[in-house]
Amino acid sequence: MAIPPQSSITLSEALVKLHDDSNTDVIALQEVDVQQERSGHGNQVAEIAELMGAKHWAFAPSMYGTPGEKWHGVKDAMVFDQDSTLP
């Protein structure tokens, strides 16, 4: 998938470029999923971190579930990092 859609650069290439060009210690993401049906039960944060070559990452949701469907508040057990084993 190219970002933006008409661009010749792929998502993974764009993430690597962002990492290489940004010279930053922290990158924040929003609207990402971990273990959600709508995104194939994957870990989008881990996938993005891997594509960027990030050594460390963490995921702390503000809510868990899909708005308008079934969801609930976040518990400490839902905060994941690169050393976590997902349920």
DSSP secondary structure code for residue 67 in this structure:
T
Question: 74 vs 31, 32, 59, 78, 80, CA distance in Å?
Answer: 15, 15, 12, 6, 12
**pLDDT tens for each residue of 15-28:** 888 878 888 888 88
For the chain, domain boundaries: 25-81
Determine if residue 65 is left, alpha or beta; phi over 0 gives left, psi from -120 to 50 gives alpha, anything else beta: left
Per-residue confidence (pLDDT) for residue 2, from 0 to 100? 47
**pLDDT tens for each residue of 26-59:** 888 888 888 887 778 888 888 888 888 888 888 8
- Sequence-distant (6+) residues with CB within 8 A of 46 are 34, 57, 59, 82
Question: What's the average model confidence in pLDDT over 73-81?
Answer: 62
Question: 69 vs 20, 47, 64, CA distance in Å?
Answer: 39, 25, 11
Omega of the bond leading into 61 within 30 degrees of 0 (cis): no
- pTM of structure: 0.61
